[in-house]
Amino acid sequence: MTSRHRSSESTVSATADTDSLSPRRRTVVKAAAATAVLTGPLAASLPARAAAQAPAFLHGVASGDPLPDGVLLWTRVTPTPEAIPGSGLGPDTEVSWTVARDRAFTDVVAKGSTLATAASDHTVKADIRGLRPATDYWFRFSAGGTDSPVARTRTAPAADAAVTGLRFGVVSCSNWEAGRFSAYRHLAARGDLDAWLHLGDYVYEYGTGEYGARDRVVRPHAPAHEIVTLADYRVRHAQYKTDPDLQALHAKAPVIAIWDDHEIANDTWSGGAENHTEGAEGTWAARQAAAKRAYFEWMPVRPALAGTTYRRLRFGRLADLSLLDLRSFRSPQVSLGDGEVDDPDRTLTGRAQLDWLKAGLTASDTTWRLVGTSVMISPFALGSLPAHLLKPLAELLGLPREGLALNTDQWDGYTDDRRELLAHLRANAVRNTVFLTGDIHMAWANDVPVNAATYPLSPSAATEFVVTSVTSDNLDDIVKVPEGTVSAIASPLIKAANRHVRWVDTDRHGYGVLDITAERAQMDYYVLSDRTDPDATAEWARSYRTRSGTQKVERTHDPV
């Protein structure tokens, strides 16, 4: 049995670092981080001596990107009390890990150690190999006589295995200030997940009170200002990792994550973002590099290429999963109404990524081809919504409040890429392609038409399941009406203007559970009773499935 580990240094370069901060700014960052980390929910549950002394594992443990023979393990150690995230302080600390086939660690299969340093914000990654496929393992970290919490992970099935079923949790858009992460708690309680997918906006970059939360800050961000430097991004990731429900889910199953825009800045494109002011907030290159470096330090994700999250994982002969990076290579979002959405020189994916995706879908020999995309690929026309609903929907989508029949931050703003991809699926008879999507803060079940204007007379090339937000504002939050009020009016009108849309829920927060067999891929949608309640309940709302070979979504009344 062998083990290998990645260096704790990120492969992503950054020009912004802690030393670039003024003394006053450093003090603000460190004080905010201390509040978030050292007095956070995890620290509050520790004995006083453990919280006051070091080393400590205040941010939990996690695993990700499962392979048939391995998995990536993650933690962050606080070696001394002053070595808070983003501070650049603290000594080099040896951190060891142990992997076993049982929770009691009587059957140890891998051990190793690495050095956690301030250069990597004292985060640690261990890329463990030599494991058995489709097998549960337990792991923990140790430093200076202190053990981390114990966590479960699971390897992927062997590449040629005849897998009868897979089950994934699916989430997106988790804004700390807007509520609690009860969705994670309910997914962790299931105990039946092979892995869980986070489809983007794992953290949000805004300062306190700057992003929609029904005008109520449930719990303030740290740091309080909008994050722009490497220290800022590290502090924000650290704060999210103190959430007990997020820690619980990370301790139960491996995560498979991609970023969207808020891990960097709102409406990110390759050369800037809507929420970035060049000069006043530093250079875009420095900010983007800082955000990406912090992401790879704090997330159990393997970068396929330096600075990207697009990669592919395989789960036996049943499914493969192509994960996209739709922020690093895209052209800027167009000004609405200027006709440039159809410009073939504009791209959402970048040429190399689109060619990689097309080639992978064609070459796939699995029953199902899953594609993790951070923004919706199905076309969406606003239709004849009344003005009091059109304005908040336009606000949510980043459109002019006068309304326009597309959202240029989604695939709708890059129609040539979409046409090329869907035409490729049709021309090569690529079946059973299912897009898994976040971003839009609403739940959808869609056919993906080759030509939306003539659908259903024209064919569907794929299907799409979109999950709602964990906490981020959706339509009823923006309008500030009771849950379900907007959907009752908007859903029929959206479906009438978009005949490929089988279902849309504009109002509720929650998560999805994707269950796959050889016969069908099914998404069960769950909703939360109250996103602000740490004890929120969850209940099943709807289930939709696509049967093998059909490229169409249908409702089922049988959640798995």
pLDDT value of position 304: 80
Cα 86 versus chain centre, distance: 22
pLDDT score at 383: 65
Give the span between the Cα atoms of 174 and 202, in whole angstroms.
6
Radius of gyration of the chain (CA): 22
Decide if 123 contacts 297 (C-beta within 8 A). Answer: yes
Which residues does residue 373 pair with via DSSP β-bridges, in sequence order? 437
The pTM of the full predicted model, rounded to 2 decimals, is: 0.88
Burial of 386 (0-12, 13-18, 19+ CB in 10 A): exposed
Continuous H helices in 45-202: 48-52, 182-190
pLDDT score for 338: 53
**What phi, psi does 442 have (nearest 5°)?**
-140, 160
**Contact of 164 with 39, CB cutoff 8 Å:** no
> For each successive 10 residues of the chain (560 residues), what is the average pLDDT?
33 30 30 38 36 82 98 98 97 98 98 98 98 98 97 98 98 97 98 97 96 86 98 98 98 98 97 95 97 97 85 98 97 72 91 98 98 95 64 57 60 93 97 97 96 91 98 85 81 89 95 98 98 97 98 94
What is the pLDDT, as a whole number, of residue 396?
Answer: 59
Whose tokens are 């704060």? That residue is 239
Q: Identity (one letter) of the amino acid at 174?
A: S
DSSP track, 3-60: -----SS-SS--S--GGGS-HHHHHHHHHHHHHHHHTSHHHHTS-HHHHHSSSB-TT-
State residue 341's pLDDT score. Answer: 80
- Ordered by start, the domain boundaries in the chain are 329-507+544-560
In single-letter form, the type of residue at position 99 comes to: V
Pick the closest to residue 492 from 403, 386, 412 (CA basis).
386
Question: What pLDDT is recorded for position 389?
Answer: 66
**Which pLDDT value is given to residue 401?**
40
Looking at residue 391, what is its pLDDT?
Answer: 62
The β-bridge relationship of strands 368-373 and 319-323 is parallel
Count helices and strands in the chain by DSSP H and E runs:
12, 22
Q: What is the pLDDT of residue 387?
A: 59
Is residue 421 helix, strand or coil? Answer: helix
The answer to whether the CB of 125 falls within 8 A of the CB of 74 is yes
Concatenated DSSP letters for 382-405?
Answer: --S--HHHHHHHHHHHT--TT--S
CB count within 10 Å of CB 117 equals 18
Closest C-alpha to 121, from 200, 199, 30: 30
What is d(CA 63, CA 16) in angstroms, rounded to the nearest whole number? 28
Q: Which residues share a beta bridge with 199? A: none
Peptide bond just before 559 cis, omega within 30 deg = no
Q: Record the tokens describing residue 72, joined without a space.
A: 């990536």
Q: What is residue 31's predicted lDDT score, i.e. its pLDDT? A: 31
CATH 3.60.21.70 is held by the domain 329-507+544-560: yes
